[in-house]
Amino acid sequence: MALISRDDVAHVARLARLDLTEAELDQFAGQLAAVLEHAADVAALDTAGVPPTAHPFELVNVLRDDVAGPCLDRDEVLAMAPAAEDGRFRVPRILGEAP
């Protein structure tokens, strides 16, 4: 495992504006070393014949076709609303004005 010093972790924490405790510096030094080692392993792979991709599996759109169907009766729905006006729901203004 690559060694990352506490000073390196403290420097990265300062750049990220993080205030770490002494215990966190020790903990994150090991974790950061493991992450960097994994990145080095990935970088060492021969990917010359591998095409770039955003996802490992072929994605298929699973949405159904948009088909119009029966809808609710407008007058019946508006009759159940607390307030209606000109065939629409009446709602309070939201531009900072009192209702």
The model's pLDDT over 28-87, given as tens digits with 9 standing for 90+, comes to 999 999 999 999 999 999 999 988 888 888 888 888 888 999 999 999 999 999 999 999
pLDDT of residue 17: 96
Structure confidence by residue, pLDDT tens digits, 1-14: 567 889 999 999 99
pLDDT of residue 1: 56
- How many angstroms separate the Cα of 11 from the Cα of each of 24, 27, 40, 68? 13, 15, 21, 59
Residue 97 — very low, low, confident or very high, per pLDDT cuts 50/70/90? low
For the chain, which residues make up each domain, given as ranges?
6-43
pLDDT of residue 99: 55
Structural fold of domain 6-43: Histone, subunit A (1.10.20)
